[in-house]
Structure 1
Amino acid sequence: MARKEVLLIYDQECPACHAYCQVVNIRKSLGELTIVDARQPSKVMEEITAQGLDIDQGMVLKLGDQLYYGADAIHALALIGSRSGFLNRINYWVFSSKQRSAVLYPILRSLRNVLLKLLRKRKINNLGAAGNDRF
């Protein structure tokens, strides 16, 4: 299998998201996982916005030319993830099921939104929704 560019794009100002993304690993045969801060301008953020994906509502995994969003991103990340380490094995067990990912991701996203509101963090607002700059 050819090594692909693997990017994980998320809000680095979210402590829960940041902790998760620092722990998750992918299999070395796939390549290196590159973490991208969605709050910083980048080519991949332009691509995400052009696709109409609201980064405030879900992380994005870019695997080669394919974008995975929200529950699909966390599911795909579990499938390509390393099984080494306790937390990576838990991540695989929980999110390797598409159904569990679809149920759990919206709950985790809601908890994230509450956390960011408590921390008084602004939304990224990559789609430019008017009046939608605070949680």
Structure 2
Amino acid sequence: MNEPATPALIVYDGDCIFCQSYVRFMRLRETIGGVELLDARSGDPRIAGFQKQGFDLNEGMLFVFEDRIYHGDEAVNLLAILSSSSSLFGRINRALLSNGTAARLIYPLLKLGRRATLRLRGRPLIPADLDPRPDGW
């Protein structure tokens, strides 16, 4: 398969152990080629850009693929469809989340698990404005 000119991008919460595990076990490189993982807490200026576009990173991860941004349940749905099913995780992920309706129903439970885990670990939610410029300009 030819790699796209721009690698796919997954924006996830690096303080969430479930999010870390999910992106670690995704085997997208086998099916779509280049994939960049970006921790939403990293300070990367693209994060502030996504927030300015209206994406709430506490409400869902982002998957940028072929110049389109997928958020939350749409992101995990497409990730499940595109990911390799060569592992047990891949087969389970695909079985549960490759159906759009199932992804919409399951995703709120995934968000709840993330929030509960962050709270138990004493970690805050992702700040709503991660503009790296101190003056906001």
The bucket for the TM-score relative to the shorter chain is 0.7 to 0.9
Consecutive unaligned residues of structure 2, counting only runs of 5 or more, are 131-137
Provide the alpha-carbon RMSD of the alignment: 1.7
Q: Judging changes above 3 Å, is the alpha-carbon distance between structure 1 residues 59 and 119 closer, same or farther for their aligned structure 2 residues?
A: same
1:79 Cα deviation after fit? 1.1
Q: Structure 2: how far apart are the matches of 1:58 and 1:11?
A: 9
**Alignment-derived partner of residue 66 in structure 2:** 64
1:41 Cα deviation after fit? 2.0
Verify the 8 A CA contact 1:71 1:105 in the aligned structure 2: yes
For CA contacts below 8 A with separation 6 or more, give which structure has more relative contact order: 2
Give TM-score scaled by structure 2 length: 0.85
Q: Structure 2: how far apart are the matches of 1:122 and 1:78?
A: 28
Letter in 1 for 2:3: R
- Percent same amino acid at aligned positions? 28
Secondary structure in 2 matching 1:21: helix
User: Once superposed, which parts of structure 1, at least 4 consecutive aligned residues long, lie more than 6 Å away?
Assistant: none
Letter in 1 for 2:74: D
Deviates further, 44-53 or 109-118: 44-53
Give TM-score scaled by structure 1 length: 0.87
**Alignment-derived partner of residue 33 in structure 2:** 31
Consecutive unaligned residues of structure 1, counting only runs of 5 or more, are 129-135
1:46 Cα deviation after fit? 3.0
Aligned pairs for 1:120-135 (under 5 A) are 120-127=122-129
**Alignment-derived partner of residue 3 in structure 1:** 3
Verify the 8 A CA contact 1:10 1:17 in the aligned structure 2: yes
Deviates further, 106-115 or 37-46: 37-46
Verify the 8 A CA contact 1:95 1:101 in the aligned structure 2: yes
Q: Structure 2: how far apart are the matches of 1:82 and 1:27?
A: 8
